[in-house]
Amino acid sequence: MKNDRTLLYRGVKGVLRCDEAEVVLGIFGFVMSQYRSLQMAAALIARTTHTAIPAVMALARGIWCFAQVRSDGGSGVAWVGRFANERHAIGWLRQLTPELEWREFAFSRPRVSLALPRRGGLRKLRQILRLARRLHRRHEYFKVLRVVELILYYSRFVQLFESANFSMAVTSNHSNPHGIAFNLAARRRGVPVVLVAHGMPVWPVAPLSYDLGVVHCQAAKDIYQRAGCRMHRTIIHGRGQHHVPISVPTHASMAVGVFLSKDTREQRLRLLLESLLNSGSVGRILVRPHPLNLWDGLDAFIEGWHSPKIGLSRERSVFEDVHECDVVFAGNSSIHVEAVTAGRPSCYVHGLDFGPYDLHSFVARGLIWEPPADRPFDPQEAFRFYQRSGWVDRLREFANIDQDVETVGRHVRAAMLELNTSRHPGCDIQAETEHGLPLQA
């Protein structure tokens, strides 16, 4: 099927494009450093690069991805949320539209029956195997894995979309294999696609199409447009209910929040905590892990300080933790936006994670203050930064403080109910799309 080949080809190009991001490379290296099993697998791949073994391993991983996805069937709104932050974002939409039938494409223990090839399956697996070998000659192995995952996820999602008459497809992921594959499979069946973002997009972004995009802020909308994403309608998340003016506490002992990314640099965190503990103005430090924390040693690291001033956040919302703090410190994290929206000065810490400097351009665009590295932290200096003329207008680029979540929710609900009755007649691939076979990529 021509459209099928075109979609997959664009999907492969999209995931390879996303994986060029420096932050992705940094996270990959961090994960490799955390797990002995991955290091052993990498050593095997390095020794067998010119054999079929790495491609076979990639194919096995892809089959595992295919076999772990399932659905209870039925019609309604198909949705996929592999990670906690995706599920949380989609959960808000489900609350807005309780009258819709929501059908999850769930991830669970793989079914052996699903892993068995169907008619023509062996031929397709041999094609994927050849593709994996060709890609491995030009790309790092983790990119080969991601491409194979994308292809097998796509095959499984197509099966599920063909098994029922879905009226809409909802996702919160636009860059990982499962998110791209879900989008493409829905488009193949002519099902309207909704993206509800859970944070700032990281450049580069896969150029996908959406009928509705509920995005983080105006700056995020600009990134999607620059990447070539097509959004028929865009709505920006409302932050007005959380917005209060920036204030600096007058009491002598401050509560400081350190909000971590998923890929924390231990040594940089250690230096930051030492600096805060040595500050006479800091009385308590709350460390909040990322919802997808990849550092297994975080608990032991915090316990090793044996300091009553340092605590670890557990099972609380991000705004609960923000409101507990007088000042927030973070690296390449959207938490900066949440903090300053809630009236808490936020400080950018370079090197706290494996991403590049100022990943989201918060510092470069004048939204977030970066404390000077050559002198102790001064709360009054932070206060002066956030009292600058025009700073609130800068905030509006990164947070919709003029509308609250209820107002935006009404717009989102109306748009979704409209989409639910407007299933597309077929795939919307444009004539300018490249029409090569994905196996020739």
List the pLDDT tens digit at each of the 441 positions of the chain: 446 778 888 899 999 998 887 788 788 888 888 888 888 988 999 999 999 999 999 999 999 999 999 998 788 999 999 998 999 999 999 999 999 999 999 999 887 666 655 666 788 889 999 999 999 999 999 999 999 999 999 999 999 999 999 999 999 999 999 999 999 999 999 999 999 999 899 889 999 999 999 999 999 999 999 999 999 999 999 999 999 999 777 677 899 999 999 999 999 999 999 999 988 889 999 999 998 899 989 999 999 999 999 999 987 888 899 999 999 999 999 999 999 999 999 999 999 999 999 999 999 999 999 999 888 888 889 889 999 999 999 999 999 999 999 999 999 999 999 999 876 544 544 433 332 223 333
> What pLDDT, on the 0 to 100 scale, is given for residue 432?
32
pLDDT at 247: 79
Cα 91 from Cα 93, distance rounded (Å):
5
Give the up-direction half-sphere exposure of residue 147: CA atoms within 13 A in the CB hemisphere.
Answer: 30
Q: Please answer whether residues 158 and 68 qualify as being in contact, where contact means their C-beta atoms are separated by less than 8 angstroms.
A: no
Minimal CA–CA distance to 337: which of 315, 365, 299? 365
* Res 424: pLDDT: 54
**Per-residue pLDDT, 90:** 97
Contact 220, 242 (CB under 8 A): no
Tokens 């492969």 appear where? 12
Determine the pLDDT at residue 119. 62
pLDDT of residue 120: 66
Q: With helix as H, strand as E and coil as C, how does 137-165 read? A: CCCCHHHHHHHHHHHHHHHHHHHHHHCCC
